[in-house]
Amino acid sequence: MAQWDKLLDRIKSLDKDMRFAELKKVLQSYGYTVSQPKGGSSHYIFRKPGCNPITIPNHEPIKVVYVRMVKENVESEEKNKED
């Protein structure tokens, strides 16, 4: 199994040990752009035209609620590829 598939499996299983860099990599691969916060905030905003923005704090480990948001977007993207 390739590293990419393992990463997607970890997201789909709502792994509690996800890192910010891993979620960032996945979202950027699906076409999301990241905007770095100004003023010292640790929350990064991921945007893609036609999709709701996703805000994720740059903390380790990432809380499950943020992994769940990415999981929903990954599943939506995979569903769109199949159609």
Residue among 8, 48, 56, 51 nearest 32 (CA): 48
Q: Indicate the SS3 state at residue 9.
A: helix
Question: What would the pLDDT profile of 15-72 be if each residue is shown by its tens digit?
Answer: 889 999 999 999 999 999 999 888 878 899 999 998 889 999 998 889 999 999 999 9
Specify the DSSP class assigned to residue 31.
T
State how far the Cα of 63 lies from the Cα of 18, in Å rounded to an integer: 8
| Other Cβ atoms closer than 10 A to 20 | 17
Question: pLDDT at position 83, please?
Answer: 66
Identify whether the C-beta of residue 28 lies closer than 8 Å to the C-beta of residue 44.
no
Question: pLDDT at position 24, please?
Answer: 93
